[in-house]
Structure 1
């Protein structure tokens, strides 16, 4: 009995791991964090935990569904890259039709939750996020290096979804959350694109780093976007949406992040690109946490 139960348990664990990978669990968790921050910054009055839970659940389902649809579409491309060839689909541990059904079901379920329990504006933004990510960004990776600019849009929409779910209206303060996430993604993605430029080239992805052998253009753009991020991140305090404590904290964080981008621009090698990538991972939660604890 024990001998037959062990392989079954192992298969279940393997399937669960594949489902987590199919839904890009770490990326989906980041989506949840930014959605939560957007909701909390936008919320006014006594907390509505049902609304908050519905916002996070709906967004999580949409994020998982979009990730699955993206991997279903890119399964042939993923098989050509070292960093993705062991995903469930290129690794042949999951049937493409199952991944497609998973993606469609989770996406529709998430949109339904948002539409029924939050508001139609939040549901529409979630739909736009899925549509741009799957139908525009994914095929664009093989056509133009501008795919990075487009791909940053669905990555920046989750905090705005949280804001809209809480406030019900679009306004400047909510738009600043979108702008911060958009500008943050550019040096983050450019660092990744440089580190894995050969992998992307082998798969036929048209990335800026692919035609930039010296890294001059890629690193310069990463630095310029980091400077823009620094300036945009200060606006919540400058426009009196937040406090002076936030201003100086964001200034320090932004200057440190821009310093890493400058280091990448000067060195233009894999270690400096990796440092910028790691700095981007540290910067975002620190800035979002600062934004939360210092809000007026």
Structure 2
């Protein structure tokens, strides 16, 4: 909804916004169902996924595939006919990357994390396009922020669940980086990259000075958390990086919205 809000004129079309959210939930939900369909055998090996409907037999693979396809198509149809064709095209691009590219790559290369960050960063573009906005550099700054943010976020997850991912045969960096030093260094590097990226919305005219100062403070704080985690390897501090990443993105998006509110 952040992209939708930022791209809207002074009066927000709540009906279109609601339809967009429903459509996106359907597309994302359908994609997740198909992901679980493809990974049903692997999910049965991992503790965190073995109780999902397919490994436990609560759903058959055919039922899951049909459900995922129907839900995805229904969401795309809603976006095409009730929101905007360009929004549907962007959502379809994200769906395709997630289901047909990212999912098969997960068991082949650690670089799949970068591929998976693409569909994860698409929603702001969909929201912006839903209100007729052209895909100008300003909204791409949100795409860049969310894309980069996902890397330390998922590195923290892969470190925390490294034994589970190893059981499933996923070649995640966090699994084979024995002491966590490489993952930690890359986490610090990506969090540092967020500092200049987070101010792009102000530079490109999407936000004002209040957001600028807040984003600098927030990005610096998250960077400090990742540095602290690197300095204390092996202490399970990836959980704090994970929590910090959630707080970071939530507060950053909230600041963007608040910055645009017509406060006298």
- Give the secondary-structure state (helix, strand or coil) at the position aligned to 1:86: coil
Q: Which residue among 175, 195, 201 is the counterpart of 1:210? A: 175
Select the residue among 206, 211, 220 that pairs with 2:185: 220
**Does the alignment pair 1:97 with 2:62?**
yes
Measure how far apart 1:45 and its partner are. 3.5
1:135 aligns with 2:103: no
> What's the CA shift string for 1:246-293, capped at 9, x where partnerless?
011111111111111111221222521000001111111111000001
- The Cα RMSD (Å) is 1.2
Are 1:196 and 2:161 counterparts? yes
Where in structure 2 are the equivalents of 1:1-296 lying within 5 Å?
36-269=1-234, 271-295=236-260
TM-score between the two structures when normalised by the length of structure 1: 0.85
Deviations 1:173-230 (A, max 9, x none): 1101111110111100000011111111111111112221111111111111111112
Q: Which runs of 4+ in 1 moved over 4 A?
A: none
Q: Distance in 2 between matches of 1:291 and 1:241?
A: 8
SS at the partner of 2:109?
Answer: coil
Conserved? CA contact 2:138–2:205, under 8 Å:
no
In the alignment, the residues of structure 1 paired with residue 45 and residue 260 of structure 2 have an alpha-carbon distance, to the nearest angstrom, of: 46
Unaligned runs of 5+ in 2: none
Q: TM-score w.r.t. structure 2 length?
A: 0.95
Measured after TM superposition, the shift of residue 46 of structure 1 is: 2.1
Unaligned runs of at least 5 residues, structure 1 = 1-35
